[in-house]
Chain A
Amino acid sequence: SQTIHQWPATLVQPVGSPLSLECTVEGTSNPNLYWYRQAAGRGLQLLFYSVGIGQISSEVPQNLSASRPQDRQFILSSKKLLLSDSGFYLCAWKPSGASEAFFGQGTRLTVV
């Protein structure tokens, strides 16, 4: 069966520090991969999505970047965190062409 792993569950980082959040999917190949951010009390904002290795689409220009070095690995990064980067970050995957997307448990990032 397919599973999605996202870590860490919580993270506290100082302003100006780098960030790397990793998401991996098991049990499938060539999935579509997504990164979302949810600010406190707000809806889900799509940050990046990828339909294949090295293919990244950015939805919102900001202080973040994404990479997909392997088929089932999706990484969200920042060189220098801002206070406004705080939020709940969610990784998701969807079989290409299928309807249902599956979400990870999320990383709650607090920038201090």
Chain B
Amino acid sequence: DAKTTQPNSMESNEEEPVHLPCNHSTISGTDYIHWYRQLPSQGPEYVIHGLTSNVNNRMASLAIAEDRKSSTLILHRATLRDAAVYYCILRDSQGAQKLVFGQGTRLTINP
């Protein structure tokens, strides 16, 4: 499985933007970049995914580097409810159906 690397933890302030980085230098051409987040004592929830182009949805934006070896999840205006562990994972669009999570980034939001 292609591996992702994320900082263990990050901290930000409420109502400020948050940029969560993810490195995936061994990404293959058919790997999609997915982001999930896990609130305390809950299962993960899907946030966003992309292949090459930047993506936006109601939860966040995903900025993908031109060489696809890194990506950044952007929370435009963090709230206290965004405090969670954020996981960046790669999923092969062809063949393997397994979803392998790394350690993720624990995001703390200060009021």
Contacts and interface: CB of A to CB of B under 8 A. Distances in A.
Contacts of A49: 97-99
A92 B91 contact: no
Interface stretch (A66-74, A75-83, A93-101): A93-101
Interface of B: 32, 34, 36, 38, 41-46, 49, 85, 87, 91, 97-104
Nearest to B43: A103
Given A43-B104, A46-B101, A51-B97, A92 B32 contact: no
Interface residues of A, number: 24
A34 B99 contact: yes
Contacts of B85: 43
Contact of A101 (B38, B41, B99, B103): B99
Nearest to B51: A99
A96 B87 contact: no
Nearest to A48: B98
Contacts of A44: 38, 44, 87, 101
A32 interface: yes
By DSSP majority rule, is chain B's interface helix, strand, loop, or mixed? loop
B68 to A, nearest CB: 16
B42 A106 contact: yes
Contacts of B101: 36, 43-44, 46
A57 B98 contact: yes
A106 B41 CA distance: 8
Nearest to B104: A43
A110 interface: no
A92 B99 contact: yes
A91 B72 CA distance: 27
Contacts of A104: 43
Given A90-B43, A104-B43, A105-B43, A99 B32 contact: yes
